[in-house]
Amino acid sequence: MGSYNEQFERVKRLLKRIENQNRDQIDYEDDLWFFFQNAWHLKDWIENDASLSVATRNDIEKICEAYPRIMICADLANRTKHSELTRKIRTGAKHTRTDVTIKIGIGSEYKYTITDKDKTEYDALELAKGIVTDWEEIIKDHVR
């Protein structure tokens, strides 16, 4: 395994892939769920990156808890990886709706709606963009 930065670069590449919606829905959906899985597991890469301080490695999960979008990401990652979310439920976030728009001559547009336990709805793509922004802040402020 390499440095956490390799994983963060992977997360950013996945974001670019899900920004491109003009493609087969199954491929799009795979990349969407891969994004959330990889974005959440960036914390594992940080925990296991020997080039970082022990304090950073020990504290990263606690740091992540201060970021609501990353907690939503955690639930989505675990739900899509394990099919059912049964332990350490943070936000209760889950995929609740998919809207597909076909634009003649232009292509497809997908909107995946994520809903948390408080019934707050999030657009998955906008959520993904916010998660990358949150990780940029965490890395800048806490990862040493």
Query: Please, which residues have CB within 8 angstroms of residue 27's CB and are 6 or more apart in sequence?
Result: none
Spatial strand order of the sheet with 121-123 comes to 94-103, 107-115, 121-123
Q: What is the pLDDT of residue 140?
A: 97
Q: Is the pLDDT of residue 7 over 60?
A: yes
What SS3 state is found at 121? strand
Q: What is the mean pLDDT of residues 29-44?
A: 97
**Residue ranges covered by each domain of the chain:** 4-142
pLDDT tens digits for range 54-108: 999 999 999 999 999 999 999 999 988 766 655 677 898 999 999 999 988 888 8
pLDDT tens digits for range 114-139: 999 999 999 999 999 999 999 999 99
Q: What is the mean pLDDT of residues 30-38?
A: 98
